[in-house]
Amino acid sequence: MSNKQGFGTAPVFFTAISTILGAILFLRFGYAVGTTGLFGGILIIILGHLITIPTALAISEIATNQRVEGGGEYFIISRSFGLNIGATIGMALFMSQAISVAFYVIAFTETFEPFFEWWSQNFGWELPRQAISLPVMALLAWLILKKGANMGVKALYVVVVLLAISLLSFFIGSPSEAEAASIGTQNIGFFNSKDFFSVFAICFPAFTGMTAGVGLSGDLKNPGKSIPKGTMYATIAGMIFYVAVVYKLAVSVPQEDLLQYQLVMKNIAIGGFILIPIGLAASTLSSALGSILVAPRTLQALAGDRSFPTAKVNLFLAKGKGPAREPVNASVVAIAIAFIFVALGSVDFVAEIISMFFMITYGSLCLISFLNHFGSAPSYRPRFRSKWYISLAGFLLSVWMMFQINALYTILAYIFITILYLYINSYHKNRKGFEAIFKEAIFQVNRKLQVYMQRNKGKNEKDEWRPAALCISSHSFERDKIFRLMNWISYKHGFGTYFHYIEGYFSRKSFTEAKDELNRLISIQSDDDNSVYIDTMISPSYTTAIAQAIQSPSISGMENNMVVFEYDKQSPEELGRIIENINLTRAGAYDVCVFGQSGKTIKYRNGIHVWIRPIDHTNANLMILLGYIILSHPDWKKGHIKIHSMCPKERMEETRQELQVLVQDGRLPITLSNIEILPVEENVAVKTLINKHSADAGLTIVGFREEQLKHAHSEVFEGYDELGDILFVNSQEEKVIS
């Protein structure tokens, strides 16, 4: 959608190119060539553009995929990463833009260096630079507040013309014959490599202007067209200009002059003593003007998204004047910040600060482009496409360069935005975060892993067992302990899928009901540290629901290998339905658990009791493994595992030694004092012993066999009235504890 009253591509290009060809070009590149040589200077330009070109491509790509509204880079980041992360980076971006105004005004003051020298010689004291910079800042403030963006863009054209005349005078100028003879090849090559990155740090702000025009997005007729063209043209043109300037300096000025004179370009240019200072003034003023146009619009967009904690602040900063919604209030804030740094800062100090925040922004834009490529969402259809590896390289180089420029500032910058994100997230908890863009990338990773695991299934016969548990229940809203059990199983070592069963036939009505109940369940469980995947199952009977579930693939990439049934110990009639369907699950070679939940509070400190009887040869290792897996959950951090093993009296010592070897070789967190061997006695019922020894246990694990169900039916699970929660386990085959 276009804005008929807005600007075209030219303001984007001129705002960007005038910021690129700024103060650093005139004040620092002579020093860069004198320190690192021609090849060193070109390498600085190449490294800088290895970050700026991927960023320009990323901006061009994203801008042609979505409507870019007011706020430019902030809008792109917030609509891709989510409003909370967008606000975090957006605030850092606004600060860097506002401080940039001060940086360029301070640099503009260097134009008056001859005046400051004259003052010192004639009056005997140093005139503060603020005598020029503060009035200039006030003039800029008046221009923007009174005339708005239209006047700013008109002034932009004037200063761009002056900048072009200044650079032209430099390129057509030449050194004297004596100087040309003395220079020779002394500046050709690469030298002083130990100072390379310190010089790069000084020069890097020269390349940070290429996104300046993006901030005008809300004032453009067609942002999707103007932003890519204007940004790319300015980036490429800026790189060509910088290479030409470095070459011209290297072949025209002796090394000592490059190192000694800040405005050494005036020694070469025709009329350089007048035109080069004018060029510096034009470049710094145009850059300051570009920044002072962009910064308030970023702040206005932030407030429009309610990024600040109070409604009054958001309304004040979001307020616009006239049909173009000129951000007058936001401009006042940006100007106030700029005034503070004009009064306090120096060129090099301010340059390093703004570089950190700009690099964060550039890295974010490249990361957005990479994740969109990797995620391959059908909705991502930009008319202009970069390459995923270019965007990834831009992101990685941004982070690496930040540490090369200043490791301390990098760490402080990331600490700052982390604290800022946590603060914003604290009062906007319901807004999307990282998942807004990462979900597509996660989908791709999960898809590829699923296919990989399926293809490689069975190749390694020694794959370690871990639970992939499946539970189906219609009592999801009345009972919460089954969710706890599934969480314990899937927290660290396994995976759990819980189906809320809805009896009936699939229809639009039942589907709508299922969706509503699923959302309700997810909402309830999201309050806890939930590790279980939750879904719904509509089926005409409990048996058909189980048949459907056990044939469905697990989203974990593993095959489901365990079915967990649940019932209330106060409602033993529920056992009939469970027993009817155990054989169905066994047909699929599933391990079976039956969880009997009681009304007792779970006493985690009393630990998990595992009961092993002579009939549990196949079940024993699975029972012990489940005890270990459950104990790894934080709920059980003060718990322990206690093994009660029952055997004939003549095998008690042998059984003890076998268990000790199993525990030691398996590195299980079970102390030898928590292994108790009990003799099997004909006149003492097993259930009586279990009720006696485990009445206060947090969880009791007991084995069962299919043969028992054939004869005793529900009595297998009954008679444990003194116990709290109990987990009955039936293993398909003996598990290996290695």
Q: From 435, 468, 488, give the residue that closes a domain.
A: 435
Please list, residue by residue across 523-533, b when 16 or more beta carbons sit within 10 angstroms of its beta carbon and e when fewer do. Answer: eebeeeebbbe
541 vs 501: CA distance, rounded Å: 9
Q: What is the pLDDT of residue 558?
A: 73
Task: Report yes or no on 540 lying in a domain.
Answer: no
Provide the domain count of the chain. 2
Task: Report yes or no on 532 lying in a domain.
Answer: no
149 vs 332: CA distance, rounded Å: 14
Ranges of residues in the chain whose predicted pLDDT is under 50? 1-2, 4
* Parent domain of 139: 9-435
Q: What is the pLDDT of residue 687?
A: 92
Q: Strands 699-703, 726-730: parallel, antiparallel or unpaired by DSSP? A: parallel
Task: Report yes or no on 486 lying in a domain.
Answer: no
Task: Report yes or no on 444 lying in a domain.
Answer: no
Q: What is the pLDDT of residue 434?
A: 58
Say if residues 631 and 485 touch (Cβ distance below 8 Å): no
Task: Report yes or no on 549 lying in a domain.
Answer: no
Half-sphere exposure of 249 (CA within 13 A, CB side): 36
| Residue from 716, 695, 487 nearest 616 by CA | 716
pLDDT 10s digits, 592-609: 999 999 989 999 999 999
Amino acid identity, position 598: S
Q: From 391, 407, 435, give the residue that closes a domain.
A: 435
Distances in Å between the Cα of 647 and the Cα atoms of 416, 613, 670, 702 are 64, 7, 20, 15
Task: Report yes or no on 634 lying in a domain.
Answer: yes
Task: Report yes or no on 255 lying in a domain.
Answer: yes
DSSP states of 376-388: T-TT---SS---H
Q: For tokens 């429009």, name the residue.
A: 304
Total-model pTM: 0.66
555 vs 486: CA distance, rounded Å: 15
Say if residues 442 and 534 touch (Cβ distance below 8 Å): no
Cross-strand bridge partners of residue 472: 499
Q: From 404, 435, 466, give the residue that closes a domain.
A: 435
Residues 6+ apart with CB under 8 A from 310: none
What DSSP designation does 606 have? G
CATH code: domain of residue 648: 3.40.50.12370
468 vs 588: CA distance, rounded Å: 14
CATH code: domain of residue 60: 1.20.1740.10
Q: Within its chain, how far is the Cα of 378 from the centroid?
A: 22
Residues 6+ apart with CB under 8 A from 526: none
Q: What is the pLDDT of residue 509?
A: 92
Residues for the chain: how many in total?
738
Q: Phi and psi (nearest 5°) for 67?
A: -75, 120
Say if residues 291 and 331 touch (Cβ distance below 8 Å): no
Please list, residue by residue across 341-358, b when 16 or more beta carbons sit within 10 angstroms of its beta carbon and e when fewer do. Answer: bbeebebeebbbbbbbbb
525 vs 355: CA distance, rounded Å: 43
Q: What is the pLDDT of residue 1?
A: 43
Task: Report yes or no on 683 lying in a domain.
Answer: yes
